[in-house]
Amino acid sequence: MFEWSLTPSFPMKVNGVALEYACHGPAPDQAPTIVLLHEGLGCVALWRDFPEKLSARTGFGVLVFSRQGYGNSDPIQLPRRLDYQSKEPLEVLPHIMEQADIQRCILFGHSDGATMAAAYAGSVEDHRVRGVILMAPHFFAEPMGLAEIERARDTFNTTDLSTRMSKYHRDPEGAFRGWADVWLDPGFADWNVAEVIDYIRVPILAIQGHGDQYGTMAQLDEITDRAYCPVGRVELDCKHSPHLEASEETLAAAAEFCARLERIEAAQVETA
């Protein structure tokens, strides 16, 4: 059972897995929905107040959930498969959108979540998806990003990071290992999923910080070089989390993108 609420009574079940979620703003039968897909160590709580602000700025509903292994969702069995960013959204998102009765939506992903949003939009012909917002996306591994993850693993192994993560994650060990161990697996160095961009047929808004410690502007270049659909590109003076470090600029870009999609949709209905 799905409950459009900021504090649902029960988690939703997807493929037998309990996933925590929260909803902001109007329900899907009243307005389009933005589905937020979190980063590699993210969860519902770590979006902080961004979903609420995003709903208020756009007038859209916002659905945020924690993937398996994160937040208060069910733990995941390790090791996580190396292709999780490509396969997991195909297995999970259709069920979430069906349960929430989403009719029109924008997929808004951050970091790993952005890769997942692109993978879904480029692999599934889902007419409910009218656009994608890709914030700090990854389509291939970069040496500087891998080095940063290695430093994070050292920190996890030698400090109280696990204890601090337990404030947000039911299973901090599983959350961290399920992210870092994949990225640092020797077989992941040649990982590249950029071909999904070739098949996206809805407008894209791409957002990246110049100081992003996990990826360079080459990730956005890949989008603009390969995409056959309209692409808006926003470069910000921040690091890996534009929604927290450059919140106003990120909200403004997202709101304009949503408004433009609504204008396009209205024009199409008018001329149909």
Give the E-state strand segments of the chain in sequence order: 12-14, 17-19, 21-24, 33-37, 61-65, 105-110, 129-135, 204-209, 231-236
Instruction: Give the model's pLDDT for residue 268.
Output: 72
Is the entire prediction scored with pTM above 0.75? Answer: yes
Mean pLDDT, all residues of the chain: 96
Q: pLDDT per residue over 195-237, tens digit each?
A: 999 999 999 999 999 999 999 999 999 999 999 999 999 999 9
The percent of the chain in helix, strand and coil, each rounded to the nearest 5, is 45, 15, 40
Domains of the chain and any CATH numbers: 12-271 (3.40.50.1820)
- Nearest one of 180, 171, 129 to 151, comparing CA atoms: 180
Judge whether residue 60 has pLDDT over 70. Answer: yes
Judge whether residue 24 has pLDDT over 80. Answer: yes
| CA distances for 37 relative to 43, 67, 92, 118, 264, angstroms | 9, 8, 11, 11, 25
